[in-house]
Structures are given as C-alpha cells and as structure tokens.
Structure 1
Amino acid sequence: MKQFLGCLILAFALQIGAQDFHETLDGIRDAEAKSAMNQILSSQNTNTGNYDVKYHRLEFDIDPSVASISGDVTTYFEAKEDMSEITFDLADNMIVFQVLQRGTALSFTQNTDDELVITLPVIQNLGVLDSLTVSYSGNPVSSGFDSFEQTTHNGDPIIWTLSEPYGAKGWWPCKQDLIDKIDDIDVYITTPEFNPFNESYVAVSNGLEQSQKIIGSEKTTHFKHGHPIPAYLIAIAVTNYEVYSHEVPNNGNPFDIVNYVYPENLASAQTSTEVTVDIMDFFTNKFEEYPYADEKYGHAQFGWGGGMEHTTVSFMGSFSRGLIAHELAHQWFGNKITCGSWKDIWLNEGFATYLSGLVIEDLDGEESFKSWRQQTVSSITSQTGGSVYLTDQDTTSISRIFSSRLSYNKGAMVLHQLRKKLGDDSFYQGMQDYLATPDLAYSYAKTDDFINVMETSTGEDLGEFFQDWVYNAGYPSYEVNWSQNGNLLQLTLAQTQSDESVSFFEAGVPIRILGSLGESIDVVLDHTINNEEFLEIVDFTVDEVLFDPDYHLISKNNTVTLGTDDYDFNTEITLYPNPTTSLIHIEKPEQTTINSIKIYNSLGQLLLEQNWSPQVDLTALSSGLLFVQFQTDDQIINKRIIKN
C-alpha cells in the first residue's frame, strides 16, 4: 500500500483508463449476450446448406415512425449440389408476396420453422450460379432481443437493427450461419425525406455511401460493401442523425471515420470520437491496415448501452474510449476473421478485449496497463474453474458463451501470456500472419487454426500452452522459497492447481529481486516441473523477493518465504582439482546419496545435468565460474568451481 496521499492520488489517476474499460466491458458483454439469445433459441438451419450465397442486393422501404419494413432482396447463389428448391431463413410473420427469377414468378411456401422454401423452375446443377428476387413486407418481431427496433430518442423516431448472429431472419430473407459469408452487398434504403419535425432523415448501413436520390417526398440512400460478410453483421439504422467525419491518414491512402450521432449528443460525441483516429493508427501499426480502408469506418448511435461491431460501422450506445476500442478491434478479430463456432468465441471477444487493453498501454502507459492486468486477473481468479474454450454443453448457455470472466478476460490474458512467452516481435508477427492467412482472411477460424498459424510463424511448439490455458480450466498458485549465500540466490518454485483438468501449468514466472539498498532485478523463471530449483547471481544483499509484481500471469494465492534449511555450502563434499581444465572428481560421505548433479554458469543458466557419478566432464563448457548443485534425498548442496 502507498503511504502518502500524493501517491494514492497518482495511483488512482493511473487506473482511470483501466477502470473505464472494465466498467465498459460489462455493458459490452451484456449487449453481445442479449443479441445472441436468438441463436440459442434456434439452431442453425440444415436446409440452407445446399448453396453458397455470392451477392445480395437489399432494397428496403422503411419509415422510422412505423414499426414495419418492406423490400426486395435479390440473391445470387451457387449450387453446392443439384437442387430443385432453395430455402431462406425468414420469420413466419414476415409476408412474402412474390418471388421472381428473370421475370418469371416462382412458387414458394412459408412455414412455422421460419423458412421460405422456393421451388426452382428446373434443376440447378452443382456449380451453377443463379439469382432470384424475394418481395416481402411485415412488422418485424424482435422476440425481445432487438434484432429490429422501432423507438424514439429525445422524441425523434428511429429504426435500427442488431442481428448477431441469428436475428437477421427477423427482418429480411437470408442465410444465417457461421459457414457462408456473402461476397459483397448493395443496400438501398428508401425513407421519407423528413421526420415529423421537418428534420432530414439520415440512413446508415455497411460499406461506402454511393448516392442519395430524392424522388418526391422520399429519399433513397445507396451503400455498397465489397468484402465478405456474414448475415448477422449486415445492419441498417435511420433517424435524424447529425453526421461528421474524422480523417485517417493511413500512410497516404486516407479514409473517413463517419459518425452518425443524435443531435442532442453532437457536442459530446465530437469530443469523444476524436480518439478513434489514434486507436485506428495504433491497430494499423501493430497488426495490419484496417481491413475495410477502401470504404470507411464509422459509428452509428443506437439505443443500447453497449455496442455492436457491424462491419465498417459499429452501432454504439455510448462513446467511451473502451467501447470505441473494443468495437474497432472487432473489425480485424471478429469481422475480417470470424469465430467458426461458439466454442471459439474467444477468438472474437478475448482478442477484442486484449486489444482494448493494448490501447490503455499505448495511450496511458505501463502503470495503467498494469492496473488493467491486475483487474483482469482478479476477475479470472474470482472462481476456480472454467476454460476459455467451450464444451458442447457450454454452448447451450448464453451466460457461459458470453462470460466476461472466461471468454473476454481470460481469453485476453491468455494472449498477454502468449505475448510474454514469445516476445513482442514474434507475437505481433504471428498475429499479422494470422490475419493474412488466405484460408482465414475474410472467412472463419477455429482455435486450432490460430494455434497452427502461431506455431508456423514462430517455430514454437505451443501445444502444451494452449492445452493448459485455453482447452483446460483453472489457474496455478505458487509457493516460492528463497535463500542467499554470498552472491548466489537459490529459488525453489512449487505449484498447485485450482482445477484438476490441469496437472501442471508450464509458464514463465516473473520474479522481482529487491536489495537492501534499493537494488532491483527482474527475472523470469521457466517453470517446467514442480518443485524446480533455480540459481540467480546477485551482487547485492537480497532483502525481498516479489512474485509477479506486475501481474503478467494468471495466478492467485501465491506465497514467498525465506528458507535456509536446505541450503548449505559447508557439507563434507569435496571437488578436485579446483580450478580444472576438464574432469572434476567428487568425494562424498558414504551415507550421503546424491540423485543428480547440475552445473550452472554465473548467470544461473543450467549447462549440464546428469545422474550421480564420482566424476564430471566439463570439457565442453566455457571457462569461468561454475556452480555445481547436488540433489540428495533431503537437501540441495551447492559448490563453486573454476573452469580454466
């Protein structure tokens, strides 16, 4: 604890960014959890698996003061097998009144399974591309989860959508799954030109605005999005938005961040959203160019407390920096590469959460990032169980899928631990390679895909790391015992686990060594077996040993103790000759059993290990001061020797 009020004030100030984010995270999690409820209540439609969607032209007619929609949805699709009919997902309260294919009306039926089943005039053979147009209308029912919402703000009418991931069928005929992304879309939104207060309506959707056309009292706004997109990330909103932009320089290829905000919030929003440019620049430098730089990024205000990362335009309930960072991060991790199943939701949410933490590191500094890590680890270890990766049973629970403790926070800290394990250069290169992998870019990924890319990129075997920290549950607790003799510090590291699914967590364990005169050394112990012994060379008197003082490791209930019982340089073990050029001979009491011999250099690095032998060959080792450690049945014995 800090002893002075000034230090307390400083510490509080440094935590503001982290506290802001963790408070925002609750809203993010709640919004994303609620928006996903429709998926839990309706499984993926197996009847839509016989075709690939290539293109949609979405033509919507809406009036923000009326809870209804009508439209024409033209779909280009390629047959994955010979097919005589095609099925779209569409809520049964939406009324289809016509299906046309090249001017010919096709027969169709709607059923209580929320399916639109269309009979094709002839068999469409495997690999053949065709199209048709569905004309429909109705009053979308959101089932309480806001896939289509008509309401007001400050008395002004607004309509907005939020379809993650299976709410799209509530307001347009589509194929909604986590398998088939649509190659590109055109969206035409026709509305009254003015609201009841004679204020202009402004329409928002994915991609780049192409045009606005006014015919009589109506306005049609055209947006075009030219990148693969799942149905749940297509969105529209219309109200009396005020519109303003921030330009991103993007290394000489500028694009706009277009903000659509309520007039009553314009002044505060203009101040809050400026930081988006800095965050965009940061993500671009760390990972890659914004995936949709040829179009736009933007924010559209809507009626939820959290946000939703619709491709190229995040819908925002507020404009806190933490929310801005989280939703922008999803444009890379969640939109460009989308989790391929609910079991892999951390590839979306854990990644976006960690990138939000990186923004704190970049904009606020290491102390604030440390505070963020401390709060994140505290959340993770508030319960003893739970894995980042979900089981089949887990995917039936909305609270488990969108667990802030596991999918968000533990997923984020797993990435941080991976970064510390690999080093910054290798970690960020691996993340860049993941985003650039052709089979994953603008498509879907599962956890094994991410592991394979990181292993290929870094040359590291990461199987044990991911088994411990992602696929299995819990966290470690550590006991550190230390003692000093001269300039040699011995550390013994023991570990217990909070969940039986992991027998031992392999990890780099951060330790800080403090001297009596203010000296400080940070070391990372490569902990590979339980009760492992480490030697460190220090040129000062050690006063205290701290365990992971900067919160780089998921752990809890750690203890550090000073011990002397098993550290003795004065036992009756003799080494000769000393100095030596090659062999050393060992004499010991007959009653002493030596199980192993380890040789360390003056940096505390293990150079040689062997079972008991009365002599050890040092020929292959470099010259200098060496430490010989003997493991007996009941103690550790250390000796010095000089190698010439």
Structure 2
Amino acid sequence: MRFPFSRPSILTLCLATALVAGCSKEATPPTATGDAGKPAATEPAAVKAVAETDEHSYAEPDKVRTKDLALWLNVDFDKKELSGSATLSLDWLDPKASQLVLDSRDLTIEKVVGERSDGIWEDLKFSLAEADPLLGSKLVVEVPQRNPRVRITYRTSPSASGLQWLTPAMTEGKKTPFMFSQSQQIHARSWVPLQDTPRVRFTYTAKVTSPKDAMVLMSADNDPKAARDGDYEFKMPQPIPSYLLAIAAGDLVFQPISERSGVWAEPSMAGKAATEFSDAEKMMQATEKLYGPYRWGRYDILVLPPSFPYGGMENPRLTFATPTVIVGDKSLVSLVAHELAHSWSGNLVTFSSAKDAWLNEGFTSYVENRIIEDLYGKERADMENVIGRNELAAEYAEIPAAMQVMALKPGVLKDPDDSSTATVYTKGAWLLQFLEQSYGREVFDPFLKGYFDHFAFQSIPTAKFVDYLKANLLDKHPGKVTLAQVEQWVYEPGIPDFAPKTVSPRFDAVDAARKAWLDAGTLPAATLTSGWTTQEWVHFVGGLPERLETTQLTALDAAYKFTGTPNGEIAQRWYPLTVRSGYTPANAAIAAFLQKIGRRKLIMPTYEELVKTPEGLKLAEDTFAKARPGYHPITTGTVEAVIAKAKAGGTKPAP
C-alpha cells in the first residue's frame, strides 16, 4: 500500500470508527492445485515451528491451514452483493483438531458442507458468534471427519467494509456501475469467509459471473484479451495472504505498456493512465537487476475511481491505483514504483501479522526509492526521502513512544489499520538505508536479494528477519554494524542519533525562495518556479507558517492558482492552511475537492481543520453529506469519527 509523500497521521487513523460490520452430490466449482514446480501454499516446517499469533484473527492456523481457495461468485450491482461459495482445501496439522475457525464480517452464511473421501458432500454444523466491532464474527465449523475440503455458501452485506459499490454517476464514464475491493488489513473477511491472517498463504481460483457490460478482474491471471461476456475465470498459482485477495468489476478496457505490463481503466482514463505509467516496464527491469526476477507473470495496473481510499494497493499481478496520481508529468509515479516493489517486499516475503507491518512497507519504501533513483535520478530520490522524514518528525511530535517501535508488542495495535505510518514506511526504510550506507551497495544489495530468495512465499515476524540479518550480514562483515544498533532501530522509539542524513540542494533553494517572500513579500520569480516539480511545490507549501494573512494567501493564489489545483498533493496541504487562516474564497473549491476525492490521506487533513470551528464544522458536515455516497466504507468511517469527536467535544470560534 502506498501513501506518497504525506501519510495519514496515526491520530487521524485512530479516530476511524471500527468497521463492522443429509448428504448431497453438488456441482464442484473450479479448484486450483497449483502449477507444477511452484512453491507450496503452506509454509516450511521451520516457519511453522515458530510460535506466532495474530491478535486480529480468530483463525487457528497451527491446527489447520488453508492451502487453496476456490471461489464461485456472482456480482449483483442492484443488491450490492457478492453471492456464491468459497471452497477451502485444508491441511490438518493438529491430529486432535476437529474444528475449522474462520474470520467473517457481516456475511450471511447459508450452508457449510464437507467433501468425503467418496466425493459426496455432507452438511457440517456451524455457528456464527456475535460480531465484534473490529474483528467481525468468528465462524466455527465442526469438522469431525477432518474433511480435506470444506465449502461455505454465503452472501455479502451491501455495507461490506471491504467492498465499494458505485452507481454510474460516481464513475468516470457515468454509464456503468463499478465495484472494487480493499482487503488490507482485515477486510477480506467481509467478502469471503476465510482465515484472514497473513500467517496463512493459499493459492486460489475463481469463477465469477456478472452483467455482460461489466469487465471483472482479480488479483490473478487477468487476460488482456478476455472477452467481456459476464463469465470469467481466474487462477492464482502462487500462494498469497488473504489481504491480497482482490476483485473489481466495471466498464474497464486494457491499454498495453509492454509485453508483460499494461493499464486497465475506464475508457476515458485508459490512455492518460498508460502514458503516465509508461515507465512501468523500466521499473520492473530496474528492480529485477537488483533483487532477482519478477515472479508473478504479468504486472498490470487498475486505475480505480477517485473514491479509492488509498494511493495504491499491491494486489499481485494487478496493482490498484488512485487516479489522483495522474497529473501529466510523472511526478507522482513513485506510487507505481512502490506497488511494484511490493512484488518482492510484501507479496513475496510477507509480514506474519500487522504488528510487523514495517517488514512490508519499510522494505518496500526503500526499494521504491532505489527504483526512483535509477529511473529519475538521485536528486528526486533525495527529495522524496526528505519529505518523508520531515513528516516522520511531525508525526513523532504527536504520537506516543509505543507507536514509534517497529516491532510492536501484542495489544499495542488495537486496529491493524492504525499503524504509525511514519514508523512502518519511513523509519523502516531509513534502517535499510543505514545498513546500505554502512556496508556499501556492493554488499547490501546481494544481501537483500538473498533475503527475498530465502523467504520467498513465506510470512515471517520481525525476529526472524533480525536473526537472518545477524547471520548473513552482521556476522559475515564484522565491525560495521552491531546487533545492539539494529535492535535500537527495531525495538526502541524514535530515530537513532547515528541515522544517516539526507539533504536536498533543490529544497534548500525552495526554502530560500519561501523565506524571501515571507521576509520581503517578493514572490519567487517565474523563471525559478516554472521548473519546480510536485516535490518542490509540496515542500514550499508544506513549509509555510501555520497561518497566513488573507492578503498573503490572495497573492499566492493569484500567482500559482493553488485553489482549485488538480494536484491532490498540493491541495491536501493548501486547503488546511486556508481553513486555519480563515481564507473563505477557497471554501467552494474545498467542497468540490472533498466531494470528488475519496482518498483518505488527501482529504483528512482538510476535514480535521474544518471541524475545529463551528463554521468549518458546518461546511464539513454539509460537504460530507453530499460526498458520502461516493466514499469507500473505510473513508466514511474515518470522516464520521472526526466529525463525531468534534461535535462531542465542542468547537471553538475561528481565530
């Protein structure tokens, strides 16, 4: 997952409301067995032997583990419902186990059957526990015969936390409804009953029916030449964790980038997206040179409607991406670099619980920066590093020390969506840069490639990485980094004093131009700003004082047209400044922006500022009422919580 430049603060995310959400011979849905020679879905014995838990799942993978999932689903836009069955192929590990415990959220379970050795499917008893606001309902299936396959027939709720249903009016083309999923962190359970924990990896197949005008895609082997006929089949032969299970359906067309990469999008967006993301193949080649072959077949990008709550989601073979990064100059394509990097760090080697999220996002942020440096130069890579580290410093000024630790203790992270983004992304990447600079790339790059190879298609905790690091880098090259230094990065809050620094001469020039304007009122010359990238504008606006005079904001607007900007990275910094400063000429543009965009990290800073005054709170409520039908449930919950807290605590008159 990617939050380019600015990530939502932990304080914002912690406000998000908990998301809730006889015998018969049956026709057998398609079932994957995996490609010959592919890694097995189950983890090696060495990994299984490690005592691990995932407090955000009811599943008991040490007793029984899913090897394969076969889905048979129908997409019903009118009911806002997926219905069908999920067939789990099981590996019974505990000889005494006779229950299958699954995660679910707001699912209607209609029937559960198990396959006998003679091929007959027989009814199994099951119970659905009362729903927990965060974790959903525990689904317990009694399996006294320890059946190798269990099938659950079910349907989803129209308000499933992991699905977004859009009317035609909410799409780019305005003609066809749209549906897409967001399974990370624990939302897969809202559209499939399964062991919803990254500790479990499985292959999967799917047969999906839909209206004939809807193209269906999944995080699997999407055929660019597939006919749009309402009947689709998919196969994912590599084992994945549940949060990488993904589906989308709508008016989608394909635009190729290379032989193994392309863009899926609504027709009016496909060409622009393919142009913006045309470097995807070059990114793949750059990463392969560093860390070994891309192991997922194709790498395609699905551009979703603006309601997508995140920047990107690394669903294997099919990155989900926000259209807000398509600005015409490739300045925000670090998102694609990030999601592609997950093909090694996250999708290939996966954290075993949300407590170790940095193993996914920190590694990926580091690899992303290496890709950006390779394609666009060290100056740009350094600028993005500086932006991230400035935001880390700001976040660490707000959040408790317990959330600044990379390997969290059980119980610290109540909601897995609430990780400290600065910690898991920026601090994690900073540790790897420290190791890279300590050992040199000629040593560190082969080490990291070896790490990806060694743990390929496995899910691991932080301790396992630290052990591997000690054995394969620290001990083999003594005298450079101590285990105590590594443990300070991983297990202690804050950033070590010995962390390497990154500077940006181009940002120094931006700082000088900003200071000259604030001191003397002289706006930066057009000859200077005409060459500024998004990164430089972000740094310029982000470094302005908390409040400005109306005359100052008017001057900036007249010169640079910040109000109404199509660049979300600039907008999400400019609009909070205008709200704090009482600059009402921006209000109409703020309302339009919040109604059009559903990406949390772009809109939440403005909502947070609006709710601080009675006038702003009214604008926030009025705007949210209009925007809500197009927001994803995850976004809706976050905005609702911010508004509710403001109303409960009262607001203050504008300064």
Alignment TM class, shorter chain as reference: 0.5 to 0.7
Structure 2 CA distance, aligned partners of 1:163 and 1:61? 18
Letter in 1 for 2:489: W
| Aligned partners of 2:10 and 2:418 also within 8 Å | no
* Residue aligning to 1:316: 321
Correspondence 1:161 to 2:165:
no
| Aligned partners of 2:262 and 2:274 also within 8 Å | no
State the structure with more CA Rg.
1
Q: CA deviation at 1:388?
A: 3.0
Q: CA deviation at 1:416?
A: 0.9
Structure 1 CA distance, aligned partners of 2:261 and 2:15? 27
> Secondary structure at the residue paired with 1:226?
strand
* Residue aligning to 1:394: 412
| Identity over aligned pairs, percent | 21
* Residue aligning to 2:87: 74
* Residue aligning to 1:84: 98
Letter in 1 for 2:212: E
Structure 2 CA distance, aligned partners of 1:141 and 1:263? 28
Q: Structure 1 residue aligned with 2:126, among 91, 101, 109?
A: 109
Q: CA deviation at 1:148?
A: 4.8
Q: How far does the alpha carbon of each residue in 1:84-135 deviate from its partner, in whole angstroms, 9 at most, with x for none?
A: 3323323354231453523333133342242333333x533xxxx7113222
Q: How far does the alpha carbon of each residue in 1:299-318 deviate from its partner, in whole angstroms, 9 at most, with x for none?
A: 35243152111122111112
| Aligned partners of 2:406 and 2:424 also within 8 Å | yes
Letter in 2 for 1:396: K
Structure 2 CA distance, aligned partners of 1:409 and 1:314? 21
> Secondary structure at the residue paired with 1:452?
helix
The range that moved more, 282-291 or 148-157, is 148-157
Q: Give unmatched runs, 5+ long, in structure 2.
A: 22-53, 132-136, 326-331, 504-655
Structure 2 CA distance, aligned partners of 1:329 and 1:312? 12
| Aligned partners of 1:67 and 1:150 also within 8 Å | no
Q: CA deviation at 1:51?
A: 0.8
* Residue aligning to 1:119: 142
In structure 2, relative to structure 1, the CA distance for the partners of 1:106 and 1:211 (3 Å cut) is farther
In structure 2, relative to structure 1, the CA distance for the partners of 1:475 and 1:171 (3 Å cut) is closer
Structure with more contact order per residue of length (Cα contacts < 8 Å, sep ≥ 6): 2
In structure 2, relative to structure 1, the CA distance for the partners of 1:159 and 1:313 (3 Å cut) is same
* Residue aligning to 2:195: 175
Q: Report runs of 4+ in structure 1 exceeding 6 Å deviation.
A: 27-37, 39-42, 210-214, 507-511
TM alignment of 1:204-353, pairs within 5 A: 204-209=217-222, 219-247=230-258, 256-293=260-297, 295-302=298-305, 303-304=307-308, 305-318=310-323, 319=325, 320-353=332-365
Structure 2 CA distance, aligned partners of 1:96 and 1:207? 27
Structure 1 CA distance, aligned partners of 2:263 and 2:472? 37
In structure 2, relative to structure 1, the CA distance for the partners of 1:455 and 1:98 (3 Å cut) is closer
* Residue aligning to 2:108: 94
Structure 1 CA distance, aligned partners of 2:159 and 2:79? 13
TM alignment of 1:554-593, pairs within 5 A: none
> Secondary structure at the residue paired with 2:274?
helix
Structure 2 CA distance, aligned partners of 1:188 and 1:34? 38
Q: CA deviation at 1:160?
A: 0.9
Q: Structure 1 length as normaliser, TM-score?
A: 0.61
Q: CA deviation at 1:400?
A: 5.5
In structure 2, relative to structure 1, the CA distance for the partners of 1:474 and 1:42 (3 Å cut) is closer
Q: Give unmatched runs, 5+ long, in structure 1.
A: 1-20, 195-200, 249-255, 477-504, 512-644
Structure 1 CA distance, aligned partners of 2:231 and 2:8? 34
* Residue aligning to 2:366: 354
Letter in 1 for 2:433: H
| Aligned partners of 1:203 and 1:239 also within 8 Å | yes
* Residue aligning to 1:457: 472
Structure 2 CA distance, aligned partners of 1:30 and 1:269? 33
> Secondary structure at the residue paired with 1:165?
coil
In structure 2, relative to structure 1, the CA distance for the partners of 1:420 and 1:61 (3 Å cut) is same
Q: How far does the alpha carbon of each residue in 1:211-258 deviate from its partner, in whole angstroms, 9 at most, with x for none?
A: 9998xx96211111111111121111000101122225xxxxxxx223
Structure 2 CA distance, aligned partners of 1:306 and 1:276? 16
Aligned pair count reads: 436
> Secondary structure at the residue paired with 1:376?
helix
Greater share of helix residues, 1 or 2?
Answer: 2
* Residue aligning to 1:519: none
In structure 2, relative to structure 1, the CA distance for the partners of 1:24 and 1:238 (3 Å cut) is farther
Structure 1 CA distance, aligned partners of 2:368 and 2:238? 25
Q: How far does the alpha carbon of each residue in 1:19-38 deviate from its partner, in whole angstroms, 9 at most, with x for none?
A: xx985553799999999965
In structure 2, relative to structure 1, the CA distance for the partners of 1:357 and 1:211 (3 Å cut) is closer
The range that moved more, 66-75 or 76-85, is 76-85
| Aligned partners of 1:186 and 1:223 also within 8 Å | yes
| Aligned partners of 1:148 and 1:171 also within 8 Å | no
Structure 2 CA distance, aligned partners of 1:399 and 1:54? 26
Q: How far does the alpha carbon of each residue in 1:257-300 deviate from its partner, in whole angstroms, 9 at most, with x for none?
A: 2321112212211211211111111111111111213x544435
Structure 2 CA distance, aligned partners of 1:36 and 1:429? 43
In structure 2, relative to structure 1, the CA distance for the partners of 1:419 and 1:473 (3 Å cut) is same
* Residue aligning to 2:643: none
Q: Structure 2 length as normaliser, TM-score?
A: 0.60
Q: CA deviation at 1:366?
A: 2.2
> Secondary structure at the residue paired with 2:98?
strand
* Residue aligning to 2:150: 132
In structure 2, relative to structure 1, the CA distance for the partners of 1:35 and 1:227 (3 Å cut) is farther
Structure 1 CA distance, aligned partners of 2:374 and 2:250? 36
Letter in 2 for 1:363: L
Structure 2 CA distance, aligned partners of 1:349 and 1:358? 14
Letter in 1 for 2:427: K
In structure 2, relative to structure 1, the CA distance for the partners of 1:130 and 1:192 (3 Å cut) is same
In structure 2, relative to structure 1, the CA distance for the partners of 1:281 and 1:29 (3 Å cut) is farther
